[in-house]
Structure 1
């Protein structure tokens, strides 16, 4: 088994925590970021120098650059960069506040972009590496009551798709990870709701609010199994462009993509008719 060094943002909970635990347990090195250092005290006590820790809010671009530079300087080489930090904002587009919108985009989209940008010079200098970009089934399929969350995830998927083409010549591969619902703290511990507007009661957008408020829906995904497949994907050559995790994710993505392709095919003649004659 190849021993690697990983940089993972947001290891205090969820996928980041599961991934750190699995990697450290098998002897690999982890550079992990947390918003509060105390959140990883137990891991640091158990693994010592095998775990490099830094406090980081990915919305602080200057801090992102300092932290990524410091991780590469301290560890020499980082084989895999995992853009994991993020959270969900739910509610109809009218319900969420301006401040919530800015924070969602700054964290899920701009934060991930800046982590990748900060890592790229180091990955190029060392001759390559792998980036795992955590997205969601919501980066390929859209659901009412999550419009701003989708905006951040569809945005980061477009960025990652283009970035892969830009850096492939440097030996840098990118995999977009698209999990469905998982039994982590994400849904009921890390998500936010916009203020309720009575106008949306009983509409499709209200279903997301009701799910979060009632806390009765149990996600189907096993986070440990999902993380194990994320880790295993790094050994795949060529790197998978996307990694769907969970039967709910696969089903929703297949349905969405099939519908979009069918609609596109129906527009072929009209699309071609707009070309210049000569």
Structure 2
């Protein structure tokens, strides 16, 4: 039995992971922004489930909640930084406030969650850090420039961090899923204000994610199981790419980058 700390368990990958872990008998400390969004888990699993209320853009609160989870549960084996959302639209189409909130949530929220957990993981002699990234962390597509900025930032931070914390027995894994049938393409996806100048341009492609006209292929339950399984692999895999679309997008981007470099 392991003990897990997961941010953003009210929906999506976070919810799927928490449900699978609790069902198999692990302990889960989960965080939500909306009060009541995980009450069913608390009612069903009792003391096996620890619930914290957290908006990861509130940096002092991040440390407070992480500290409380370690204090009340003792050892936490795996910390999963999962909270985040997608902001789509051309760079001109999103507002300054949307840009700031995207970076505050996806990038700074992830960084601060990890920074808050590190003293505890070092003190207990090791553990595992899992960061939910995306195919958008290694490949870039028109219409998602700000989302890419947040995910590419997370990738750089976690890859460098892996070398920093390896001497303390802390493993680091970046998870890069492609499209999955979660709330990401529904309630959690946000967009800018469409500009007619971008109609019929590559940046307009992502509008189909908001109106539902783009089919989402991946199975979130299968993806969550793969993420959970990665915590058993030693040494920790630095990257776990999930989905045929993610693999295709990442390999095409890396090959193109290498060709550009060689040229």
TM, length-normalised to structure 1: 0.94
Aligned pair partner of 1:236 in 215, 233, 237: 233
User: How far did residue 214 of structure 1 move?
Assistant: 2.6
User: How far did residue 189 of structure 1 move?
Assistant: 1.8
Match of 2:166 in 1: 168
Aligned pair partner of 1:207 in 199, 205, 209: 205
SS in 2 for 1:38: coil
- State how far apart, in whole Å, the 1-side matches of 2:42 and 2:233 are: 30
The yes-or-no answer on 1:223 pairing with 2:207 is: no
- State how far apart, in whole Å, the 2-side matches of 1:241 and 1:189 are: 30
Structure with higher Rg: it is 1
TM, length-normalised to structure 2: 0.99
Aligned pair partner of 2:261 in 254, 260, 264: 264
- State how far apart, in whole Å, the 1-side matches of 2:157 and 2:173 are: 12
Contact 2:67 2:116 in 1 (8 A): yes
- State how far apart, in whole Å, the 2-side matches of 1:202 and 1:251 are: 24
- State how far apart, in whole Å, the 1-side matches of 2:35 and 2:27 are: 18
Contact 2:189 2:210 in 1 (8 A): no
Cα-Cα RMSD = 0.7
- State how far apart, in whole Å, the 2-side matches of 1:220 and 1:254 are: 18
User: How far did residue 216 of structure 1 move?
Assistant: 2.2
SS in 2 for 1:96: coil
User: How far did residue 117 of structure 1 move?
Assistant: 0.1
Match of 2:79 in 1: 81
| Cα distance per residue 1:65-88 (max 9 Å; x no partner) | 000000000000100000000000
Aligned pair partner of 1:4 in 2, 18, 23: 2
Match of 2:150 in 1: 152
- State how far apart, in whole Å, the 1-side matches of 2:139 and 2:55 are: 28
| Cα distance per residue 1:26-49 (max 9 Å; x no partner) | 000000000013000111110011
Query: Deviating runs (4+, > 3 A) in structure 1?
Result: none
- State how far apart, in whole Å, the 1-side matches of 2:110 and 2:73 are: 21
Contact 1:141 1:252 in 2 (8 A): yes
- State how far apart, in whole Å, the 2-side matches of 1:245 and 1:91 are: 24
